[in-house]
Amino acid sequence: MGLTDQIPRRAAAGRVDFRTEPARYRHWRLSVDGPVATLAMDVDEHAGLQDGYELKLNSYDLGVDIELYDAVQRLRFEHPGVRTVVLTSVKEKIFCAGANIRMLAAAPHAWKVNFCKFTNETRGGMEDASANSGQVYLAALNGTASGGGYELALACEHIMLIDDRSSVVSLPELPLLGVLPGTGGLTRVVDKRHVRRDRADYFATKSEGLGGPRAAAWNLVDEVVPRPTWDQAVAERAAELGSRSRRPADARGITLTPLAKERGDDRVSYRHVTAALDREAGTVTITIAGPEQDPPADAAGIGAQGAEFWPLAVTRELDDLILDLRTNELELGTWVIKTAGDPERVLAYDRLLLASSGGWLANEIVHFLKRTYKRLDVTSRSLIALIEPGSCFAGSLLELALAADRSFMLAGVFEDADPDAEPAAVTLGDMNLGPLPMANGLTRLQTRFFGDDAALAAAREAAGRPLDAAAAEELGLVTFAPDDIDWDEEVRIAVEERASFSPDALTGLEANYRFAGPETMETKIFGRLTAWQNWIFNRPNASGPDGALRRFGTGQRAHFDRKRV
Amino acid sequence: MGLTDQIPRRAAAGRVDFRTEPARYRHWRLSVDGPVATLAMDVDEHAGLQDGYELKLNSYDLGVDIELYDAVQRLRFEHPGVRTVVLTSVKEKIFCAGANIRMLAAAPHAWKVNFCKFTNETRGGMEDASANSGQVYLAALNGTASGGGYELALACEHIMLIDDRSSVVSLPELPLLGVLPGTGGLTRVVDKRHVRRDRADYFATKSEGLGGPRAAAWNLVDEVVPRPTWDQAVAERAAELGSRSRRPADARGITLTPLAKERGDDRVSYRHVTAALDREAGTVTITIAGPEQDPPADAAGIGAQGAEFWPLAVTRELDDLILDLRTNELELGTWVIKTAGDPERVLAYDRLLLASSGGWLANEIVHFLKRTYKRLDVTSRSLIALIEPGSCFAGSLLELALAADRSFMLAGVFEDADPDAEPAAVTLGDMNLGPLPMANGLTRLQTRFFGDDAALAAAREAAGRPLDAAAAEELGLVTFAPDDIDWDEEVRIAVEERASFSPDALTGLEANYRFAGPETMETKIFGRLTAWQNWIFNRPNASGPDGALRRFGTGQRAHFDRKRV
């Protein structure tokens, strides 16, 4: 394989491929030394995902972030002994300059939005590792962290800034580019680091940023360390943060083997997941196959199967598919979700995972599944679940139906096709009752029945029992339960209708309805902040020919329509 | 005065005037019968605020909503004996068709956004009256309520729908117009009425809406009543809702006398509030004068002074000024806020209000002040408070500085201008500690110190003591405290800099920073939902020449860019 083949550049038909591995990284150096891993940014300015820009000063594009995502995942699965991840830079005087501005300026609106969504998810994944994996992220800013570079640090639990009289932290997006920091910066500054809002306002308008003493006084960083003692201080802090972790020292990781995938123009196939793309209808039909075998007997068996273990394998495939379709198939606006297999086996795997979740590997798999379903929740596609005979919407796979905007469950069977089939059933299991919360902190079941405690209690009461269409509809677990006579027509209308609506309005509708109830820092980032950023990205003051984003670096000032909206 | 003079149409220089009174209403009929008021919609289709559209089927524009706002306010102050407000329609078969679509289609982006903001505030004000005034709103839908018409009903505590085989409730914005319901509908459907999200999704895509039985089964309405028993059922429900109210039956209202206002191109003056408009700099300098006299001795004195009572008078003026500037002065992007007067007197008025707030009138005044400051929080203008000698930032007026994005407090005095002046002081009072919460449910002080309990406790500890600049800065109550030498330069840079930034990015920044911490239904409506709607309003799929909003009613289908963003 030649060198250029190793860059995660756009694959055939210009598609972005999210699969990579450390040997192919162009932008990061990952090293592991006992309980401390170092993830050092060293962006290759000539290895951008697209042409037309150079990734100077450790600025990043989607390709850089794909590698970061891969590294964070591998650390969790392949290096269970790691307790602290030190995020730093190989370059002198610069930690990271944030998202590449020429890339942003040239990118279409949808690309910018998609890019920000993925980087947000990756940063959320780092916080999830700190909180739930015992792999705590430490930002060791050995140089300036500006914009998205500082936002990367904000996703870490502890921020150290070198005191060299030149290194600063900054959020210069507003003054320089006329947009907002796009990866959660505003929210994390006030909601996570508790910087006072008037100071946060000052900080976000000061393009040159703040240096050590003031940055520390305002809690923008946790400590400022002189260069002579830098290495030692970082090592000490890494050890200290790691000492709080309960990661087992002697655990052996599993290998995230290359994901087998066939990608065509109208079909994406993995081992357990397939997707049929219908460009005419604007839909993708995704089918997730349940396990073909019974689960192993215990946690040791999970480790022995490694990446082949069905829940892990299917989650990796679904994760990759979501990213692929989101990035590469913008015009396929409706995802129809099906499952096929034995629901009892799905529940058996769920039970094994939950019984083993005191162990690091089962814990990782459950959290990975949680994060993957969270991706679905923030995916700007209409999700319709079809529950038919032969499906296995039970426990962890039932979450797919609960994540959908609407679900249809066949009452009875398809009389012509298979009159002797067993009618479809759905079964709630323990996986639906806690381990897979949404970004709002509630389970999908709790969100579904928000404010209706009786309905929630009735559903919980039914856990463990296969429910036919009538029972599932009665309990509110599915939207509609048509019979064979009405099925085709009802489903067809729902899917066709969806394709006829404004894609933008659907995105806004779904972004609001999927998150009933409470908000968290995460939903504020994905809902409130992202929506404002999308609006700003779309405005002439940013993206028009005279807008700040397009004018940056040209020597010309942006021309603003001064009307406040 | 001729008939046309009575319409709250655009005043001189095309400005919108928010002042009106029942005798001038063109669109509503307000009647009071003991404890029950009826607010009946009867929109005059020829009396739109602008030309180019007809307000058919009780559709509304800003002019209609200005009257609604006025009526809600007057009911609270002028009719304290009212316990239930029945919202209904004079027209046959139609309650309200929502915002006028031709008006929306023709309106510039800023107008749409501003219009939605005000209508949101008015509906929030109805909920505030139900919750805090003992004036409970009852929606008596004697005909179809579609779009904003149904959203108006959602702002009521109880929704009755007539069962006449034709009347429905609907949210047809998405299927018909390619936008979202703009006044909180999506959020209220799931978060207030607890409609299941998949049903809510179905409802919001079904342009023809849902009739009685299903609307009731899904909790979109509370009850469906046949026509023959309609009047009696409404009367019974009104009585029942009113019976929960603690409104005094024998209270005498005060009159909200016409607000004296001089409005010029570069100056707005009321009795206590003045605003100097600097179009060159893009700023407004707002000065609020403290009370000229000591407060009356007791609650009876408040009633005797009525609309002249300083806190009520100053709040009415500030409220009108905010609405005027927001709507009519889009290019004045920074509001510089000053006060002038005796801080002790401000605190004395605050004490009287809080001591009297068991009584209906003081209670109303405090809630009105609360709502007015909430308007400030969602105003898309940069707010900078200047605290100088002679100012009275104490208690209720200190909230202005706490609402600001930044505040500057002079350390010492202006040596040249007035060397013998008393240096400025700020004083926290009980008004800062609870009665004036923001939309997020926290006080501005709690939001300011979100996550920093020690700082919050220290500030509370200092309540009641006048604090000089050093002390205020130390406690974190002001952003910066420059002295005479640095003052002009620092303030000038802050204000000029603000005018140089992207107005859109500032709006997004402020909308995020002002609401640190928890979210409520109200912040979800103003933050999450509004931001998505603004984005959609700005997209070609809605507002472009081929967009759904522009194509509506032309017989042509909208042309959508099908890319999902």
Which chain A residues touch B113 with a CB distance below 8 Å?
565
**Residue A461 burial (C-beta neighbours within 10 Å; 0-12, 13-18, 19+):** exposed
Q: Do B505 and A541 touch (CB under 8 A)?
A: yes
Angle, CA of A202, A208 and A210, to the nearest 5°: 60
Cα four-point dihedral sign A427, A433, A439, A440: positive
- pLDDT tens readout for residues A172-226: 999 999 999 989 999 999 999 999 999 999 999 999 999 989 999 999 999 999 9
Smallest Cβ–Cβ distance between A505 and the set B190, B199, B536 belongs to B536
What is the distance between the alpha carbons of residues A477 and A407, in angstroms, rounded to a whole number?
9
One-character DSSP codes across B425-452: -BB--GGGGTTS--TTSS-HHHHHTTT-
Provide the chain A residues 24-83 that lie in CB contact (below 8 A) with chain B. none
Q: Residue B154 CB: number of other CB atoms within 10 A?
A: 27
What is the distance between the alpha carbons of residues B541 and A503, in angstroms, rounded to a whole number?
8
Total residues found in chain A within this entry: 565
Residue A29 to chain B, least CA–CA distance (Å) = 32
| Residue A109 pLDDT greater than 70, yes or no | yes
What 3-state DSSP class applies to B265? coil
pLDDT at A436: 98
Q: Which of A380, A440, A478, A532 best tests the B interface by mutation, with the highest count of B CBs <10 A?
A: A532
Q: Tell me if chain B has a CB within 8 Å of the CB of A533.
A: yes
pLDDT at A553: 86
Contacts of A313 (CB under 8 A, 6+ apart): A271, A272, A307
What is the distance between the alpha carbons of residues B261 and B274, in angstroms, rounded to a whole number?
9
Angle between helices B503-513 and A197-205 (to 10 degrees): 150
Q: Do B502 and A179 touch (CB under 8 A)?
A: yes
Q: Tell me if chain B has a CB within 8 Å of the CB of A187.
A: yes
Helices and strands in chain A, H and E counts: 23, 19
Contact between A79 and A32 (Cβ < 8 Å): yes
Q: Could you give the ipTM of this predicted complex? A: 0.94
Q: Do A516 and B191 touch (CB under 8 A)?
A: yes
Bridge partners (DSSP) listed for residue A276: A267, A285
pLDDT at A249: 82
A168, A276, B130, B153, B324 from B17: Cα distances, Å:
49, 57, 27, 26, 7
Pairing between β-strand A382-387 and β-strand A406-409 as defined by DSSP bridges: parallel
pLDDT at A182: 86
Pairing between β-strand A267-269 and β-strand A262-263 as defined by DSSP bridges: antiparallel
Q: Tell me if chain B has a CB within 8 Å of the CB of A454.
A: no
Which chain A residues touch B448 with a CB distance below 8 Å?
196-198
Residue B531 to chain A, least CA–CA distance (Å) = 5
**How would you write the pLDDT of chain B (565 residues) with one tens digit per residue?**
233 333 344 555 689 999 999 999 999 999 999 999 999 999 999 999 999 999 999 999 999 999 999 999 999 999 999 999 999 999 999 999 999 999 999 999 999 999 999 999 999 999 999 999 999 999 999 999 999 999 999 999 999 999 999 999 999 999 999 999 989 999 999 999 999 999 999 999 999 999 989 999 999 999 999 999 999 999 999 999 999 888 888 889 999 999 999 999 999 999 999 999 999 999 999 999 999 999 999 999 999 999 999 999 999 999 999 999 999 999 999 999 999 999 999 999 999 999 999 999 999 999 999 999 999 999 999 999 999 999 999 999 999 999 999 999 999 999 999 999 999 999 999 999 999 999 999 999 999 999 999 999 999 999 999 999 999 999 999 999 999 999 999 999 999 999 999 999 999 999 999 999 999 999 999 999 999 999 999 999 999 999 999 999 898 999 999 999 9
**Residue A260 burial (C-beta neighbours within 10 Å; 0-12, 13-18, 19+):** exposed
pLDDT at A68: 98
Q: Please report the number of interchain residue pairs, chain A to chain B, with beta-carbon separation below 8 angstroms.
A: 283
Residue A201 to chain B, least CA–CA distance (Å) = 7
| Residue A16 pLDDT greater than 50, yes or no | yes
More confident residue, A150 or A550: A150
What is the distance between the alpha carbons of residues B149 and B359, in angstroms, rounded to a whole number?
34
Residue B114 to chain A, least CA–CA distance (Å) = 7
Q: Do A528 and B527 touch (CB under 8 A)?
A: yes
What is the distance between the alpha carbons of residues A72 and A142, in angstroms, rounded to a whole number?
20
Contact between A438 and A447 (Cβ < 8 Å): yes
Q: Among A181, A183, A129, which residue's Cα sits nearest to residue A157?
A: A129
| Residue A338 pLDDT greater than 60, yes or no | yes
Would you state the structure tokens that stand for residue A401, as one six-digit string? Answer: 């139906």
pLDDT band for position A3 (cuts 50, 70, 90): very low
| Residue A315 pLDDT greater than 70, yes or no | yes
Contacts of A160 (CB under 8 A, 6+ apart): A138, A139, A140, A141, A221, A222, A223, A224, A225, A233, A234, A237
Contacts of B35 (CB under 8 A, 6+ apart): B81, B82, B83, B84, B239, B242, B245, B247, B249
What is the distance between the alpha carbons of residues A390 and B17, in angstroms, rounded to a whole number?
65
Provide the chain B residues 194-233 that lie in CB contact (below 8 A) with chain A. 194, 196-202, 204-205
Q: Tell me if chain A has a CB within 8 Å of the CB of B514.
A: yes
Q: Do A511 and B532 touch (CB under 8 A)?
A: yes
Q: Do B179 and A502 touch (CB under 8 A)?
A: yes
Which chain B residues touch A538 with a CB distance below 8 Å?
535, 538-539
Q: Do B503 and A560 touch (CB under 8 A)?
A: yes
pLDDT at A397: 98
Q: Tell me if chain A has a CB within 8 Å of the CB of B378.
A: no
Contact between B112 and B537 (Cβ < 8 Å): yes
Which chain A residues touch B174 with a CB distance below 8 Å?
501-502, 505-506, 509
pLDDT at B427: 98
Extract the runs of DSSP E, i.e. beta strands, from A296-424.
Answer: 334-340, 382-387, 406-409
Alpha helices, DSSP H, located in B24-108: 62-78, 101-106
Q: Tell me if chain B has a CB within 8 Å of the CB of A281.
A: no
Which chain B residues touch A450 with a CB distance below 8 Å?
190-191, 194
Smallest Cβ–Cβ distance between B501 and the set A175, A450, A561 belongs to A175
- pLDDT tens readout for residues A506-526: 999 999 999 999 999 999 999
Contacts of B454 (CB under 8 A, 6+ apart): none
Residue A240 to chain B, least CA–CA distance (Å) = 24
Residue B248 to chain A, least CA–CA distance (Å) = 32
Residue A517 to chain B, least CA–CA distance (Å) = 6
Element housing B343 (H / E)? helix B343-355
Q: Do A497 and B381 touch (CB under 8 A)?
A: no
What 3-state DSSP class applies to A551? helix
Provide the chain B residues 384-423 that lie in CB contact (below 8 A) with chain A. 404-407
Would you state the structure tokens that stand for residue A263, as one six-digit string? Answer: 């990608």
Dihedral class, residue B39 (left if φ above 0, else alpha if ψ from -120 to 50, else beta): beta
What 3-state DSSP class applies to A245? coil
- How confident is the model over A57-71, as a mean pLDDT? 98
Would you state the structure tokens that stand for residue A299, as one six-digit string? Answer: 């946690």
Residue B116 to chain A, least CA–CA distance (Å) = 11
Q: Do A531 and B535 touch (CB under 8 A)?
A: yes
CA atoms lying within 13 Å on the CB side of residue B329: 29
Q: Do A562 and B282 touch (CB under 8 A)?
A: yes
A17, A67, A151, A369 from A125: Cα distances, Å:
19, 13, 14, 12
pLDDT at B434: 98
Would you state the structure tokens that stand for residue B353, as one six-digit string? Answer: 């209000």
What is the distance between the alpha carbons of residues A471 and B214, in angstroms, rounded to a whole number?
19
| Residue A8 pLDDT greater than 70, yes or no | no
Q: Tell me if chain A has a CB within 8 Å of the CB of B527.
A: yes
| Residue A19 pLDDT greater than 60, yes or no | yes
| Residue A542 pLDDT greater than 80, yes or no | yes
B275 DSSP assignment: E
